Amino acid sequence: MKSSLIPVFIPHLGCPNDCVFCNQRRIAAPRAPAADEVRELVTAGLKYARMPQIAFYGGSFTAIPAELQEEYLACACEFVRRGEADSVRVSTRPDCVDGETLSRLAAYGVRTVELGAQSMDEGVLAAAKRGHGAEDTRRAARLVKAAGMELVLQMMVGLPRSDREAELATARELAALKPAGVRIYPVCVIEDTELCDMYRGGEYEPLSVERAADICADVLEIFEAEGIPVIRIGLNPTEELSAGGAVAGAYHPAMGELVRSRLYLKRALRLLGETDGAGEAVISVQRGRAPLMRGQKSMNLRALAERFPQMKISIIEAAGQNEPVRVRRIYESGSDKSKPGGADR
C-alpha cells in the first residue's frame, strides 16, 4: 500500500452514466490517452519513482471495451515485466466487476483494484445517480479478494440525502469488507455538474469544510479502529479547483491534515473530559504528530483552552507510544507541583 504511484488518467472512459457530482474534466486530464501516450507518461514518471505501481484512474476501467483494456494493460505490463514497475492498479465501479474481468486484469499484472462504492445507503446512491446498489459493492469486494488482489474502497461524504449517521453506517459496512485501504472524499460542488445546478437552485446544501472535517474525523476513527489504512482524504488539489473550479462544498488543499487534526482534538477532548478540568495536563502524542495535535494555526489548542479554561495544557511527543493521544495529569489545582497528581490515561 505504501508504494509510489504513476497515475494515468482516463476521465469518463467506460462510465455508463453521469453521477450528479461528476465532471472529470475538472479533476483530471481532459481526455483519455492513447496507448503510446501511456508509455510516454510511465517513462517520464520512472525518472521520479522507483518500482512504482502504474495506476489507471479517472474512469471505470473495467467498463471500457475489453480490447482497449488489454491495450492499456499491455503497455503497463511491459514495465512490470522489465522490472521497472512493481504492478498495476485500476479504479472502477462495483457493478463492472466479474470473474472474467478479474482474470484479464490478473494476466496483465494488476495487483490492486479500487472500487468507487461512495455510499452503502440505497437512498443516497439513488440520489447521486450512481446506477448501482450497495450489494454490488459487497459482491465486487468479495470477488476482488477471492482473486487474490488488494481491495481499496472509496467513499464520499456529503452526498445528497446523506447525513452523519448514513456516513458512519457506510464506514462501518466498508470496514467490514476488510479492504487493504480506503479513500475518503468529502463532496465538492464542481462547475458544470448536475450537483452544481442543484446547489444553485437551492435543492442541495453542501457541507462546509468545517462540517465535513468533523464528520470525516468520525469516519476516519472507524477505519483506524479496524486497522484499515486511509490512504487519502479529499480531492487531489489542482490549480483549477483552487481557482474556482470547486464552486462550493468541502474542498481544501489540506483536507487530510484538517481531518486528522480534528480527530486528535476529539480524542483529547474525550480524555480531558474524564478530569475535573483544573490543574495541569500534558497531552502525549506519537513522534512527529504534535503539529496535528496543535492544529493549523494552533486551532486545537485554542479549542482546548476554551473548553478547559482552568487547565494548563501542553503537548509532548513520545517515541514508541502506541496510542495516538494520551493525557497525563501532572498535578491537581492547588496541589504540590513537585508531586505527580495523576496517572496516564
Average pLDDT over residues 106-125: 97
| pLDDT band, residue 332 (cuts 50/70/90) | low
Mean pLDDT of the chain: 90
Reported as a single tens digit per residue, the pLDDT across 285-330 is: 999 999 999 999 999 999 999 999 999 999 999 998 999 999 877 6
Closest-CA residue to 233 (of 181, 168, 293, 294): 181
Global pTM? 0.90
Task: Give 261-293 pLDDT, tens digit per residue.
Answer: 999 999 999 999 988 778 899 999 999 999 999
Q: pLDDT tens across 130-184, in order?
A: 999 999 999 999 999 999 999 999 999 999 999 999 999 999 999 999 999 999 9
**What does the pLDDT read at residue 30?**
52
Q: How far, in Å, are 22, 61, 62, 96, 101 from residue 65 at the CA level? A: 21, 9, 8, 11, 11
Domain 274-331 coded CATH 3.30.300: yes
**What does each C-alpha distance from 51 to 2, 4, 333 come to in angstroms?**
11, 8, 56
Give the pLDDT confidence score for residue 221 in this predicted structure: 98
Residue 239: its pLDDT value, please?
77
Q: Give the whole-angstrom CA distance, residue 224 versus residue 286.
A: 15
Give the pLDDT band of residue 125 (cuts 50, 70, 90). Answer: very high
Res 335: pLDDT: 47
Ranges of each domain in the chain: 5-253, 274-331
| Chosen CATH of 5-253 out of 3.30.43.10, 3.20.20.70, 1.10.540.10, 3.40.50.1220 | 3.20.20.70
Position 342 confidence tier, pLDDT thresholds 50, 70, 90: very low
Burial 81-90 (b: 16+ CB within 10 A, else e): eeebbbbbbb
Residue 107's contacts (CB-CB under 8 Å, 6 or more residues apart) are none
Q: What distance in Å separates the CA atoms of residue 38 and residue 10, rounded to the nearest whole number?
A: 10
Closest to 125 measured CA to CA, from 94, 97, 91, 98? 94
What string of DSSP letters covers 190-252? ETTSHHHHHHHTTS--PPPHHHHHHHHHHHHHHHHHTT--EEEESPPP-HHIIIIIEEEES--
Instruction: Write the pLDDT tens digit of every residue in 234-259.
Output: 998 887 787 788 899 999 999 999 99
% of the chain exceeding 70 in pLDDT: 91
